[in-house]
């Protein structure tokens, strides 16, 4: 893949719906977007006070932390004051005099930085806006940025272009003077059959820019926002063994296996916890059935005990002595004996002096009366 990454990007094969969803998910997991401010420098574009307010509103309200802002001025060429610099892909653009990129990390500082670097006044030396050249340059290079991320196994990002120009966007190949008179006479985009014109039209169609354009018309300008899908270009090549080698599926696996695994664990844990919780709530809402035998079956009775309820030993559960010796209490699915310490009661051959957790489904309690020992046997079961 490294050799491919060094080549100029080309439009790839159509992606499947699942691949598109996967790429969308990758972009959601990544931080930030690529946002391009494409500014027409020609005299015909006059950014009045309203335009500046709207531009500042976009910068202030729509940019998020993590966004990367690119500023691309254009006229008859792109970045006319430094045409040899690519303001989108040149890593040293800022040091060479171009105004990009700007990492939007600190809104208080970065908003002013962006506004300062956007050319809000027309350059009287710039004439003849080649709008199709600007479109071709921006869309192709934005695609290159995401493709480079794929090559480096980095998360791709959503991308947007904010156009400030009076020129028409998304026009068909071979722009005529009737459609836009400012296109330079020697521009290859005047001829629909030139490679430049056809390639630009292919990117327009591939990225579906016309379907994702929102436009606001001003007096001497149009402000248009075009949102581009988070996508890359796929190329599948036959390989030995009846197989083929592709880019996107392996990229999606590398990007998504960890978050998908973590999400799956969380979902399974939540489902498991939910099922356990539902079963627990269901179980504590059922009464416990208590089959009580006194003195080896001399007297038998059945009682039912609900959650957070209790039965007195000496009244609800009969025993000799005329006093309540303790309480059989239910807390959730656990049973406790809490002695009153008025008269003694024994559990597991030990006199109870404090609240005692009951273990098992068979409870054997003993108590003395008139120099004799008596036993209470309680068998616990759940009701259906």
The answer to whether 37 touches 118, Cβ cutoff 8 Å, is yes
The answer to whether 48 touches 54, Cβ cutoff 8 Å, is no
Note whether 84 and 207 are same-domain residues: yes
Please count the structural domains in the chain: 2
| DSSP characters over 122-154 | --TT-----HHHHHHHHHHHHHHHHHHHHHTT-
Domain-ending residue, one of 217, 235, 253: 235
Q: Which two tokens stand for residue 215?
A: 């436009």
The answer to whether 376 touches 319, Cβ cutoff 8 Å, is yes
Mean per-residue pLDDT of the chain: 88
Q: Which of 17-21, 48-52, 304-308, 358-362 has the lowest mean pLDDT?
A: 48-52
For the chain, how far is it from start to end, CA to CA, in angstroms? 64
**Per-residue confidence band for 1, with pLDDT thresholds at 50, 70 and 90:** low
The alpha helices in the chain, defined as continuous H runs, are 2-5, 17-29, 49-62, 107-117, 131-151, 195-207, 248-284
**Per-residue confidence band for 91, with pLDDT thresholds at 50, 70 and 90:** low
Is 247 a member of any domain?
Answer: no
Q: Give residue-wise pLDDT tens across range 2-22.
A: 455 667 889 999 999 999 999
pLDDT surpasses 90 at 243: no
Structural domain of 220: 9-235
Is 258 a member of any domain?
Answer: no
- Cβ density class 163-193: b for 16+ within 10 Å, e for less: bbbbbebbbebbbeeeebebbbeebbbbeee
Residue 216, CB-side half-sphere exposure with 13 Å CA sphere: 10
Is 336 a member of any domain?
Answer: yes
Domain-ending residue, one of 190, 205, 235: 235
Instruction: Read off the CATH number of the domain in which 329 is found.
Output: 2.60.200.20
Note whether 127 and 228 are same-domain residues: yes
The pLDDT of residue 5 is: 61
pLDDT surpasses 90 at 50: no
**Token pair 């309680």: residue:** 378
Is 216 a member of any domain?
Answer: yes
CA dihedral 310, 312, 315, 321 (to 10 degrees): 170
Is 262 a member of any domain?
Answer: no
The pLDDT of residue 361 is: 92
Note whether 328 and 229 are same-domain residues: no
pLDDT surpasses 60 at 99: no
What is the Cα–Cα distance from 240 to 256, expressed in whole angstroms? 27
CA dihedral 196, 197, 198, 204 (to 10 degrees): 110
Q: Give residue-wise pLDDT tens across range 246-288.
A: 899 999 999 999 988 988 899 888 888 888 888 888 888 899 9
Note whether 96 and 201 are same-domain residues: yes
Q: In the chain, what percentage of residues exceed pLDDT 90?
A: 57
Is 300 a member of any domain?
Answer: yes
pLDDT surpasses 80 at 46: no
The pLDDT of residue 353 is: 94
Domain-ending residue, one of 174, 209, 235: 235
pTM above 0.75, yes or no: no
Q: Give residue-wise pLDDT tens across range 322-360.
A: 899 999 999 999 999 999 999 999 999 999 999 999 999
């Amino acid at each position: 893949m490294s050799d491919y990454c060094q080549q100029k990007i080309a439009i790839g094969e159509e992606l499947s719906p699942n691949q598109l969803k996967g790429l969308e998910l990758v972009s959601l997991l990544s931080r930030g977007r690529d946002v391009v401010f494409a500014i027409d420098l020609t005299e015909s574009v006059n950014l009045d006070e309203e335009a500046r307010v709207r531009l500042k509103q976009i910068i202030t309200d729509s940019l998020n932390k993590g966004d990367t802002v690119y500023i691309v001025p254009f006229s008859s060429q792109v970045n006319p004051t430094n045409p040899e610099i690519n303001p989108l892909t040149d890593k040293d653009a800022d040091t060479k005099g171009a105004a990009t990129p700007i990492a939007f990390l600190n809104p208080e500082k970065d908003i002013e930085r962006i506004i300062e670097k956007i050319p809000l006044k027309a350059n009287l030396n710039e004439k003849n806006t080649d709008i199709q050249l600007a479109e071709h340059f921006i869309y192709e290079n934005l695609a290159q940025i995401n493709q480079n991320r794929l090559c480096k196994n980095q998360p791709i990002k959503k991308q947007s272009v904010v156009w400030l120009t009076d020129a028409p966007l998304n026009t068909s190949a071979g722009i005529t003077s009737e459609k836009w008179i400012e296109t330079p006479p020697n521009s290859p985009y005047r001829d629909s059959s030139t490679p430049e014109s056809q390639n630009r039209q292919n990117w327009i169609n591939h990225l579906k820019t016309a379907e994702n354009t929102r436009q606001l018309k001003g007096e001497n300008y149009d402000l248009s926002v075009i949102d581009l899908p988070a996508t890359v270009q796929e190329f599948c090549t036959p390989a030995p063994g009846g197989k083929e080698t592709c880019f996107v599926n392996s990229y999606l696996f590398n990007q998504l296996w960890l978050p998908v695994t973590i999400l799956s664990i969380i979902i399974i844990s939540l489902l498991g916890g939910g099922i356990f919780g539902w079963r627990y709530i269901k179980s504590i809402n059922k009464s416990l059935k208590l089959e009580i035998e006194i003195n080896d079956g001399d007297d038998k009775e059945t009682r039912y005990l609900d959650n957070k309820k209790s039965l007195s030993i000496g009244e609800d559960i009969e025993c000799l002595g005329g006093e309540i010796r303790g309480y059989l209490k239910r807390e959730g699915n656990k049973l406790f004996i809490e002695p009153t310490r008025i008269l003694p009661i024994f559990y597991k051959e030990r006199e109870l002096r404090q609240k005692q957790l009951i273990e098992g489904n068979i409870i054997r309690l003993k108590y003395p009366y008139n120099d004799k020992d008596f036993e209470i046997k309680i068998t616990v079961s759940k009701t259906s």
